């Protein structure tokens, strides 16, 4: 599972902003909301006749596969880099 997301933003005037977001503390803070989303997703899976356990397993594998992902967006003189570690 990814441990850290780093975001770098460079605007048109040359100013840079760097943010490091640790995943585990964010998940702990948002855990009540995540439990509600998980319950709603389970209900949605049952409505559309999808196995909720398989859907949860597929989501977990997708999140684990995000490690090493690097997203670069550049438009004119503004650039954003998102790196998932």
Q: CA-CA distance, 43 to 25, in Å (whole number)?
A: 27
Q: CA-CA distance, 54 to 22, in Å (whole number)?
A: 27
Q: Where are the domains positioned within the chain? A: 4-84
Q: What is the pLDDT of residue 12?
A: 82
Whether residue 1 is predicted with pLDDT greater than 90 in this model: the reply is no
Average pLDDT over residues 19-30: 95
Average pLDDT over residues 59-82: 94
Residue that wins the pLDDT comparison between 76 and 72: 72
Whether residue 13 is predicted with pLDDT greater than 90 in this model: the reply is no
Whether residue 14 is predicted with pLDDT greater than 90 in this model: the reply is no
């Amino acid at each position: 599972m990814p441990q850290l997301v780093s975001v770098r933003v460079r605007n048109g005037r040359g100013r840079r902003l760097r943010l490091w977001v640790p995943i585990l503390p964010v998940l702990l803070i948002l855990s009540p909301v995540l439990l509600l989303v998980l319950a709603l997703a389970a209900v949605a899976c049952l409505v559309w006749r999808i196995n909720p356990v398989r859907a949860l397993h597929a989501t977990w594998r997708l999140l684990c596969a995000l490690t090493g992902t690097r997203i670069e967006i550049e438009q004119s003189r503004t650039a954003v880099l998102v790196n998932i570690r």
